[in-house]
Amino acid sequence: MYNGRKGVDAPRMQRADDAGRQLAQERPVALSIVVPAWNEAERLGATLQALRCMADACSEALFAGRAELVVVDDGSEDGTLAVARPLADAALRHSRRRGKGAALRTSVQASRGAVLLFADADLGESAAHLARLLEPLAAGQADMVVARFPAAGRRGGFGLVKRLAAGGIRRLSGYEAAAPLSGQRAVRRELLERIGPLAAGFGIEVGLTIDAVRLGYRVQEIELPLRHRETGRDWRGFLHRGRQFWAVLRTLALRWDSREMSLKRLKWFKKLRTRGG
């Protein structure tokens, strides 16, 4: 039977294709793309499709392994989980809303890659540009790479949360962050394991940057043509930014306390050494 390939019969082609798929599945997971989602059924599908298209090719080329896509539905009420299931390798769900930090912690625990890529659920087709965050990690130039969004297309808040976050990061770590609140990040698992439990809620990005820099890891930022749902100057937008503000403030306060305790311990040890000498 002629099947379009001279000298190759259909059963043999099928066996070869099956063997190729099995071999690909047996390759170790090198890259885990984790997506926390809450009531994102409308935009999640396009985001996951864009991530899936770039994931396997980038993972094989940069890290010599395959990619996995992990989605955590943080108690959505709009069918987010149903959208995620056919597109993700793992689609998990919280029975109630627990916040972005908890969703990321769940997805990190469920993932297997040595490199993780954090992506928001509302990026749509622009999520494909996140591939550029992986290149500095693969080249050994950085341990965490953060995406900077282009200027917003509509007027949002007054920049209070961003200034608080950037100022806190600078004061507590010395790092000048242009995108302190960006959730689009590529990071080595080793870094996450050294840091320990991630910060809760919307303070997770600020805490991650401070902790990484304090531990001596290299952080870079790259501007990418990403698009996401922007919040305006309505009551929903102000409510969202209010929650962000308090979450960031709490994260900074906790790390300020730990910094003060470290300084006190250092002074105490110096006194002991002085007395002992």
pLDDT digits over 4-28, tens only? 444 445 455 454 444 444 445 567 9
The answer to whether 27 touches 66, Cβ cutoff 8 Å, is yes
* Residue 268 lies inside a defined structural domain of this protein: yes
SS3 assignment, position 247: helix
Give the whole-angstrom CA distance, residue 94 versus residue 233: 30
Q: Is residue 117 part of a domain?
A: yes
Q: Identify the top-confidence range among 24-28, 111-115, 199-203, 255-259.
A: 111-115
Classify residue 104: in a domain, yes or no: yes
* Residue-level pLDDT at 257: 72
> Residue 199: pLDDT band by 50, 70, 90 thresholds?
confident
User: Domain range spanning residue 270?
Assistant: 10-276
Residue 2 within a domain: no
CATH number of the domain within which 184 lies: 3.90.550.10
Does the pLDDT value for residue 235 go beyond 70?
A: no
Residue 177 lies in a domain: yes
Question: Is 127 part of any domain?
Answer: yes
User: Is 248 a domain residue?
Assistant: yes
Q: Full-prediction pTM beyond 0.85?
A: no
Least confident range from 107-116, 117-126, 252-261: namely: 252-261
Q: Indicate whether 52 belongs to any domain.
A: yes
- Taking the alpha carbons of 267, 271, 272, 277 in that order, is the dihedral positive or negative? positive
If one counts the domains in the chain, the total is: 1
Q: Are 107 and 96 in contact (CB under 8 A)?
A: no
